[in-house]
Amino acid sequence: MTASPDDINPRHQLSPLACDSASLRQSIRDALVREVGKDPDLATPRDWLHAVSFAIRERIIERRVVTRRQFAEEDVKRVYYLSMEYLIGRMLEANLRNMGIFEATQQALQDLGVDFRTIARLEEDAALGNGGLGRLAACILESMATQGYPGYGYGIRYEFGMFQQHIEHFRQVEHPDNWLRFGNPWEFPRPEKVFPVRFYGYVIEHHESNGENCYTWEDGEQVLAMAYDYPTAGYERRNVNNLRLWAAKATRNFDLRYFNEGDYIRAVADKSESETISMVLYPNDATAIGRELRLKQEYFFVSASLQDIFDRNLQLGYALEDLPNKAAIQLNDTHPAIAVAEFMRLLVDEHHVPWHKAWDITRRVFAYTNHTLMPEALETWPVALMERVLPRHMLIIYRINHEFLEEVRHRFPGDHDLLGRLSIIDEGHGRRVRMAHLAVVGSHKVNGVAALHTSLLKQTLFADFYRIWPERFINVTNGVTPRLWMIQANPGLTALIESRIGSDWKFDLDRLKQFTPYASDEATRADFRAIKRSNKERLAGLVKNRTGVVISPEVMYDVQIKRIHEYKRQLLKLLHVIELYQRIRDGEEVLPRVVLFAGKAAPGYQRAKDIIQLINEVADIVNNDPAVGDRLKCVFFPNYEVSSAAIIIPAADLSQQISTAGFEASGTGNMKLALNGALTIGTLDGANIEIRDAVGSENIFIFGMTAAEVNEYRGQRHPPSAHLDSHPRLRGIVDALRTGFFANGGRALHAQMASYLLEEDPFFVLADYAAYSEACTRADSLYGHAEAWSEAALLNVARMSYFSIDRTVREYAENIWEVTPEAVQAPCPKDPNEC
């Protein structure tokens, strides 16, 4: 077997770098001079940030080389995770903790006269994703490395990540997120790893002597995909996996002919147009040009990734027929679904594998994770657009669809409606390619991400597919990494747990159950409240710095932090804020609280942006009314990202998980908040059901209609306005909107939102309001008893072990990927626990 240059056995043994503070201090000084090019006497804080990053990067890549060599020696099966999004966040502290050298590096910097926290705050968040989908992808990569699973992530190196969100005149305004403007010391450019990606052109059909047809894709335009590697270290393990992101490069930098003629703009036009593909995360697809760019982005990263996978496996000496035993490819939602057709193209056109053998290989390699039940969120592409941009793939999809429907027709003769529902081509809505259908047909496993979600997939969205292939559908409930969302984000709570049950739970979250008895210990509860208070003070400082609003750490922190979307029902929480405000104005006693919203609205999603404006205008009145004072504060926290989430979540008391039942696939914010001791108020939606089962129904506040009741209620077509009589204050709350009581200037937006609720209310805000208000009252009552609340909060912490990303990854590995962990044995110059 021949090995890839990336996976060769060592020609000589690496001499590992030492990890003690003295060695790190010297490495940092050397990096400052040799990599950053600065005199230590003249270095800025950002220079020191880059220097320490380069010093740590040396140690990470050292382990990456050893990991790669061992995996090659042991001939392991590898996992390839394809995702359009990765919400990585800041990398410095995560890498230091995962490498087990956080304290040693802090000491090294202190010896150099540099404050670690000062330089760490300068690091840009790598916001290459919109929300939970991208954060889940980052968690999965970290967990694969931590547990020793051989894994690669693939995505796009967006030059501009998720936009910077500013609030101007109460409304969201988007600004570019130029996260690379100061450079990125964590990435390794790989100019030798470049693959061509073709668009447009035409297809020529050839007839072979053996009766087979073959095809060549001609003309069109080509873009080059260049790799950038981001090594991903496991937590206090020697395993280091890799995230490979692709950047678009032009096939030629400029046209010399135009340059010589003095037409400098045309000379570089091809370069500029080509590199646009990886320029921006999620271009606004409201226009035809935007939609085309999004399709090109998806195919660009998929094609480059699959070419890389083929290249690696062929260089390792694997036969193409053996790919299912050597590679597992996971599609993270429908965005990379074109991979099914591209994989077939590479096998059939480039490697001349017969069609039916290629299709068998493809199905055995691919698996698909679905993240939504909302049909509008499942990507479909106009056939005409696909035929123009990806003409060869459209022919492949036609054949896949034809053979699939023939199979269905023979199994279910005469059921023509079934054929229409299952077809990859939707003929009823302007002829569109259903990418989710392509993913299901081309995969051997399809999973939902929570028990309810998977059940609803089987009953609704993919009911017909489940009827044909029930064995393909399984559930893998999402999880979160405790390394970021507990150990790093909440060091006080981490130390408290460690003082009671030791540190083994950090490596096996199931051991967190041992903390359960301490929920009834008075001293532990007191310590927990002190830690929560400290976390609130830290958050209060961040809120004041970013918004100017002063909040008290003495009151309940009631948070709803997630992408702004109607089904997530930020409006439901806002109506409750208005109720509390009105009750205070009426002289009633209410539990003092801070209500904190955070999240971004998609740039083209006008109603979501209207909701943000509404929140900010209500907050402007509430926060500045002297009759209210500190009894109620309403804050919209702008530009929510991973680093700010790590400060908000440990400070939260009450976690708002109030989506309309049946709409949230899983949620992971609900898990992070509960793990940090926030009590959940929520509907029986997504993973809330499993959280209730884990923590106990007495330690969570459940309200509202179930998914089944929502469907039944929808069919009855009740007028939303009828619910104004179901709660004593609801009419007055809606009237406050309708009359523009909170409006700053124009009242039209408020009146429109009131009309929307009274006449449409597609996500049943008014229908669930009475139950929601009552659940809030229950939460307030318990919070008034500090000991009882603390006990419930600690029970939430102790019982959240099931929601570890490590359990999620193990289920993928055992039930879908069929891979086993491989602990890397790397040499270390000192005690392994120190390196």
Q: Supply the residues annotated as catalytic.
A: 371, 562-563, 568, 668, 672
- 3-state helix/strand/coil string of 726-746: CCCCHHHHHHHHHCCCCCCCC
Do 17 and 59 contact (CB within 8 A), yes or no? Answer: yes
Residues for the chain: how many in total?
835
- The CA distance from 566 to 607, in Å, is 8
**Other Cβ atoms closer than 10 A to 430:** 10
Residue 287: partners with Cβ closer than 8 Å, 6 or more residues away: none
- Integer Cα distance of 554 and 594 in angstroms: 10
Q: Which amino acid is at 450?
A: A
Please report, as a single letter, which amino acid is at residue 761: D
Amino acid in position 136: L
> What backbone phi and psi angles, to 5 degrees, belong to 263?
-90, 80
Is residue 474 helix, strand or coil?
strand
**Count of beta carbons in the 10 Å neighbourhood of residue 46:** 15
Residue at 720: amino acid letter: P
Contacts of 459 (CB under 8 A, 6+ apart): none
Radius of gyration of the chain (CA): 27
d(CA 71, CA 67): 6
Q: Distance between CA 267 and CA 181 in Å, rounded?
A: 25
Non-local CB neighbours of 110 within 8 Å, separated by 6+ positions: 116
Strand spans (E) along 200-268: 202-207, 213-218, 221-233, 240-250
Distance in Å from the first CA to the final CA of the chain: 33
Euclidean distance between CA atoms 303 and 338, whole angstroms: 9
Distance (Å, rounded) from C-alpha 66 to C-alpha 145?
13
Distance CA 350, CA 822 (A): 33
Dihedral sign (CA 498, 501, 504, 508):
negative
Give the CA count within 13 Å in the CB-facing half-sphere of 632.
25
- Rounded to whole angstroms, what are the CA distances from 126 to 87, 179, 480, 516? 6, 7, 18, 36
C-alpha 214/C-alpha 211 separation (Å) is 10
Q: Say if residues 159 and 280 touch (Cβ distance below 8 Å).
A: yes
Residues 6+ away with beta carbon under 8 Å from 810? 147
Query: Which letter, b or e, does each residue of 360-387 get, where b requires 16 or more Cβ atoms within 10 Å of its Cβ?
Result: ebbbebbbbbbbbbeeeebbbbbbebbb
Q: Which tokens go with 832?
A: 């392994």
Strands across the sheet with 380-382, in order?
A: 380-382, 432-434, 425-426
Q: Name the residue among 159, 290, 270 with its Cα closest to residue 222.
A: 270
Q: Is 450 helix (H, G, I), strand (E, B) or coil?
A: coil
State how beta strands 701-702 and 202-207 pair.
Answer: unpaired
Cβ neighbours around 449 below 10 Å, total: 28
Element (H, E) at 84: none
d(CA 626, CA 635): 17
Cα gap 183→189, rounded to integer Å: 12
